[in-house]
Structure 1
Amino acid sequence: METPAHEGGSVLDLFRLTGRVAVVTGAGSGLGAGITRALAEAGADIVAAGRRRDALDQVADIVTGLGRRCLAVPTDITDPGQCDALAEAAVAEFGRIDVLVNNAGVSHTAPATRERPEDFRKVVEVNLFGAYWTAQACARAMGPGSSIVNVASMLGLVKSVLPQAAYAASKAGLIGLTRDLSQQWSGRKGIRVNAIAPGFVDTDMIGEMNADTLAEFLRGSSLGRTATQREIAAAVVFLAGPGSGYITGSTLAVDGGTSGH
């Protein structure tokens, strides 16, 4: 069972990750790169996983520039064997895994009557199966006080204005997986498992979206804007560390109030 966070000292200590080792999937670009940087800023050493070695090396340079250590491990998370190798590489380099952020994900937009089986399978294999294989592998090396943060989506909670059956189903499944793994591991192994459900985030993908479609999405947001990457990364840092020590099995909506409508 996880030891409660120490009540002495500054409350800010509960948001520091000094001495911890964090594995981040999809770390090479976009939100994953931002999360990786934030975890390093909070004091964690990093194991950066993704498909592109060049992108991971760039992120590693940022992490080391912040004074933290970083191991880049090219990984296809749809292959359970590569997920096992990722966890083994983390333990070989750092001796432990304290945090896993399941961030890697893909999306696909197509009308349900015309979506190809291979496109649907690819989304589910990365977003849901990949998160499960990575959680399995890392949990074997994680001890009491560890934390898993699954990056789901508000589209696992609310409807989309675009036809995104595979993406919505995979993210809803990830939220269900979060609850189940929390039930299995929090009390017995001391590993807390939570998820965040981001709304639209200010990334390159948003820049490619049709302005009218984005505006329609944002009409459902109480704040009426996209999130910054730093706002999403801050939520991950919170759930990764001791400040959220009494939170498990929960999904934190970071969506500007969209899912509250």
Structure 2
Amino acid sequence: MGISSLFDLDGRVALIAGAGRGIGAASALALAEAGADIAVLSRSPEQIEEVAGKARELGRRAIAIPADAADGAASAQAVARVIEEFGKLDIVVCVTGGSVPRPFLQTHDDALRESFERNVVHGLRLVREAVPHLVESDAASVVMTSSAIGHVVGRGYLAYGSGKAALEHAVRLAATELNPRIRINAVAPGAVRTDSLETVAADPAIKKSLEDATPLQRLGDAEDIAAAVLYLASRASSYVTGQVLAVDGGMAVTNMPMPYPDLEPAAAED
């Protein structure tokens, strides 16, 4: 058996949440290129239908399921739809989360709660719904999406970084409970060219600060992360679980630059 065959996902079924664009869409298509049939979830029907269409062009079965990660019932229904359509589930990829950068004194209680909900609760809820079906697979894998800021420091990221740090430890804890039938790992991107990053990187000075903070001296592409997702989803990583794979251009050895040029303390919000 050649090494390349370990990345083959022929006959596997993958569910990808947050797959409408960016890292999620690239990951869904990477799995489809490797042979998996896919179900793609997002709040944007047009976007996920486009991703599903590209997968079908590759010869894969693909369905688009509009769903809001914040809706617990929608997560359960999405998993049920996958089983109804494909009869099985082998891989779950969660590309969900996010948080608005803000100074510490403006990081009020609601901002902290929202970050934990978006970065921890939403993804783990979907995994919990999927576990009864994943346990029936002979090669079940879950891939969560963290961030470099989950383990490095940077001003302005307290809510987001705390949420991602919690997710990373949740992955380790879940692995101990799901072993040996289900592997669960996370990928931790650095500064990657996505629509979300453009909200801050559109400023040339901030873009340069991100590049300067990255030892490889460039921003990442969605495909850089998708390749890591494929590795963690496939038999190539069959001896890997409970791990966080940093795909950040070496940023883990630096401080993250602040997400905006002016970080003067401001009055806390109620």
Q: Aligned pair 1:110/2:134, yes or no? A: no
The aligned runs of 1:1-150 (5 Å cut-off) are 9-143=1-135, 144-150=138-144
Give the AA of the match of 1:203. Answer: T
Q: Is the 8 A contact 2:210 2:219 kept in 1?
A: no
The aligned runs of 1:114-193 (5 Å cut-off) are 114-143=106-135, 144-161=138-155, 163-187=156-180, 190-193=181-184
Q: Specify the alignment match of 1:243 in structure 2.
A: 236
Equivalenced residue count is 250
| Aligned equivalents of 1:217, 1:61: Cα separation in 2 | 34
CA offsets, 1:82-125, max 9 Å, x none?
21111111111101110110112222111121234334333321
Q: Is the 8 A contact 2:171 2:185 kept in 1?
A: yes
Report deviation, 1:247.
Answer: 0.4
| Aligned equivalents of 1:127, 1:74: Cα separation in 2 | 19
Gaps of 5+ in 2: 255-270
More deviation, 200-209/244-253 = 200-209
Gaps of 5+ in 1: 1-8
Q: 1:207 aligns with which of 184, 198, 202?
A: 198
| Aligned equivalents of 2:197, 2:105: Cα separation in 1 | 26
Q: Is the 8 A contact 1:78 1:133 kept in 2?
A: no
Between the aligned residues of both structures, percent identity stands at 34
CA offsets, 1:56-93, max 9 Å, x none?
11111111111111111111222222211111111111
Report deviation, 1:51.
Answer: 0.8
Report deviation, 1:222.
Answer: 1.5
Q: Is the 8 A contact 2:39 2:62 kept in 1?
A: yes
Q: Specify the alignment match of 2:189 in structure 1.
A: 198
SS of aligned partner of 1:148: strand
Q: Runs in 1 of length 4+ with deviation above 6 angstroms?
A: none
Report deviation, 1:243.
Answer: 0.5
More deviation, 235-244/210-219 = 210-219
Give the TM-score taking structure 1 as reference length.
0.91
CA offsets, 1:149-178, max 9 Å, x none?
0110000010124x1222111111110111
Q: 1:221 aligns with which of 214, 233, 243?
A: 214
| Aligned equivalents of 2:20, 2:55: Cα separation in 1 | 12
